[in-house]
Structure formats: structure tokens, C-alpha cells
Amino acid sequence: MQSVDKHRFFKDVALDKAFEISVAYDKSYIQLVVLTPLMTMPIAMEATLGLKEVNDKVEINRFLLDLRNTRSTTTVNEKYEFAYEKLKALVQVPSEIRGALLKAEGNDSFRFLETVMRNANYNFRVFDDEALALEWLIR
């Protein structure tokens, strides 16, 4: 994927190289690539704020979350709180958003997140195949 505008959003020096956000060349989706081996709630929140800021400018509402090189360290309760409280405070109409989380094959640390996000009325799926994720995301 060739990116047009690259953005990084950091409020804490510790998050300086945690992720990158870019807009697909054809502007069909916004991509988040997490660069750290462990996905924590502070990184998830900072990435969410960055995605929101970019989406507010380009209004794409399609997100490819590339977490193939990371594992989630968040608890079941944190995932639930993220979907039902933290994210809902930022996103007023969840049904307008479509998110595809791309994980490494065999990494099940994000599976429960798919269930929670879908139950919270987000159009969200987890994939381990990039082509399938993109096909679903931009259809």
C-alpha cells in the first residue's frame, strides 16, 4: 500500500514509536500499524485518538488495524470498557464505522475484542489474511 499522508500522534514519549497511521493511496481506508510487541490500553487509546483525528479530516470511516506484530495485553474487562465506554465517547454513530483488525495467524489475543465490538454495534472483524480483510473492509 502506498500512503498519501502519514500522521503520528503522541502525547507521551514512551509511545513515540508505538504506531503509524496512514491513508491508503486510493483513500479507501485508513491504516494503523502497531510497531510494538505488546498492545496496551494506553497505546490503544492513543491510536484511537490518532485514527479519529485523521478520519475527522478525510471522512473515510474504514480502518485497517495491522496488529500482526503485536499481542494484546489488555484484560477482558479492559476490552469491554474500551468498546462500550471509551470508544463510544469518541464515535457517535458506531454503525458508520467499519474496522478490520489484521492479526498474526495463531494469535488469539484479539478474538474476544471482535465479540465485544460487534456486540457494541460496531462493524468490526478480525482477520489473519490481509487480502480477505481488505476485501471485506472496502466492499
pLDDT in tens, 37-96: 999 999 999 999 999 999 999 999 999 999 999 999 999 999 999 999 988 887 776 678
* Domain range list for the chain: 3-138
pTM above 0.75, yes or no: yes
Q: Which helix (H) or strand (E) holds 81?
A: helix 76-81
Q: Does domain 3-138 match CATH 3.40.50.2300?
A: no
pLDDT at 1: 46
Distance CA 124, CA 117 (A): 6
DSSP state of 84: I
Q: Which residues contact 135 (CB under 8 A, 6 or more apart)?
A: none
Distance CA 40, CA 67 (A): 12
108-139: pLDDT as tens digits? 999 899 999 999 889 999 999 999 999 999 98
Assess whether pLDDT exceeds 90 at residue 28: yes
